[in-house]
Amino acid sequence: MAPLVVDVHTHVYPPAYMEMLRGRKTVPYVHDPAGDADPRLIILSSDDDPSIPLDERGRPVDASYWDIDVKLDFMRRHGINCSAISLANPWLDFLEPDEAQSWAERINDNLEETCARVNRVADPEKTLTLHEKETLYAFGALPLSAPDPGIVVNEIKRLKSLSHLRGVIMGTTGLGKGLDDARLDPIWAALEETGSLMFLHPHYGLPDEAFGSGDAMNRYGHVLPLALGFPLETTISLTRMLLAGVFDRFPRLKILLAHSGGTLPFLAGRIESCIHHERKFIANGGDVPGPQRSVWDVLKTNIFLDAVVYGTAGLKAAVEASGGADRLLFGTDHPFFPPLDSKEGAEWPSVTTNYKAIHAAFDQDAKEVAGVLGGNAARILDLR
């Protein structure tokens, strides 16, 4: 039997989310052009430039973003047995405080209903294995802009009662000031208490100036923010958590990092060296507590990495940093990075590249390949 394949990094905009975005006129929003053209998703302020015609702003989004049947077809085409779907950026971070709770509950219920419908079998007495039918699970979205962190905590606890939710997804801004914000402590505590996995995903958190501002964006499109901004944003946010002692206070926190942890596996040694030599920390005579646990310990204990890095060198660095291939999980980043050849039924190079990299990185060990492709995710997410 072929190895089980579980996709832990695959996004969807459920119906309630699309409805909300269509009702907005400020970033983020969805614009429906006249005629048969695909809707336009505008999620960056730079994409909302009034000098750009409305029908050309942002990016076109087709049915693969919201139609779950398209997701299932994609899974069948690429041999994926199970997907853990999640809302894509910008999540719910932009909502007005009085709207956050109701929209989070509605969207998370949407995700639960979708998974339940897809996973339902004709004969409820028959037990199927994950190999026998495409199945869906989900990471829930959090109402982070709510006026009270207790609302976020309550949603984390509520998600545990939903049969198909397997954790939460969060961006790097947290409550607006980054993930070293002490106001997040009740949320970390709730995630730890419930044993919930947090899927940490970046969202263009570096300033435009880092990429040459508008001029470079016009010349190079989204290459710089996607290829460099995303991984650096992830690395910076996780390092801020480490420096703030989040992992000292919450040693059982579990985090899945997108894009193989950004540059964290490669830079972990440099981060550790800089911490060791920092004069501001009490250990070196300063007055700032500084982290008590090493970055290596956190990587091997609290962190899981997806395998969305598109190369064997990156995968090997991820495995070396995290302490073993049993903490690495396959992902596709669907529906982003579709084939430029719009031929129906075309394979996605972004997906096949990941497959090839995994097989090349672990070609001497079929058990490790099987683990990365799906066995690890089935164990960590408790998929049945």
pLDDT category at 137 given cuts 50, 70, 90 is very high
Q: What is the mean pLDDT of residues 47-64?
A: 90
In a domain, 19, yes or no: no
Over the stretch 232-242, which tens digit does the pLDDT of each residue have? Answer: 999 999 999 99
The secondary structure element, H or E, covering residue 357 is: helix 349-361
Residue 344: is its pLDDT beyond 70? no
Q: Phi/psi zone of residue 206: left (φ > 0), alpha (ψ -120 to 50 degrees), beta?
A: beta
Nearest residue to 351 (alpha-carbon basis) of 304, 306, 310: 310
Domain containing residue 220? 6-12+63-381
pLDDT band at 44; cut points 50, 70, 90? confident
Mean pLDDT across the chain: 93
Q: What is the per-residue DSSP string for 255-322?
A: EEEGGGGTTHHHHHHHHHHHHHH-TTBGGGTSSB---SS-HHHHHHHTEEEE-TT-SHHHHHHHHHHH
Query: Which of the four pLDDT bands, split at 50, 70 and 90, describes residue 36?
Result: confident
Q: What is the pLDDT of residue 121?
A: 78
**What is the number of domains present in the chain?**
1
Q: What does the pLDDT read at residue 206?
A: 79
d(CA 16, CA 12): 11
* 245 belongs to a structural domain: yes
**Stretch 71-91: mean pLDDT:** 95
Q: Is residue 48 part of a domain?
A: no
Within a domain: 40: no
In this structure, of 127-141, 236-250, 257-271, the range with the lowest mean pLDDT score is 127-141
37-46, 136-145, 277-286, 325-334: the lowest-pLDDT one? 37-46
**189-215 confidence digits (pLDDT tens):** 999 999 999 999 998 777 878 888 666
The more confident residue out of 131 and 289 is 289
The predicted model gives 109-134 an average pLDDT of 84
Residue 21 covered by a domain: no
Q: What is the pLDDT of residue 340?
A: 85
Domain contains 122: yes
* pLDDT band, residue 219 (cuts 50/70/90): confident
Is residue 37 assigned to a domain?
Answer: no
The sign of the dihedral angle between the CA atoms of 294, 381, 350, 90 is negative
Segment 284-289 mean pLDDT = 96
d(CA 148, CA 143): 10
* Residue 105 reports pLDDT greater than 80: yes
pLDDT at 266 over 90: yes
Between the alpha carbon of residue 78 and those of residues 2, 347, 358, 373, the distances in Å are: 13, 7, 15, 12
Residue 94 lies in a domain: yes
Residue closest to 78 by CA, chosen among 382, 373, 376: 373
CATH number, position 114 = 3.20.20.140
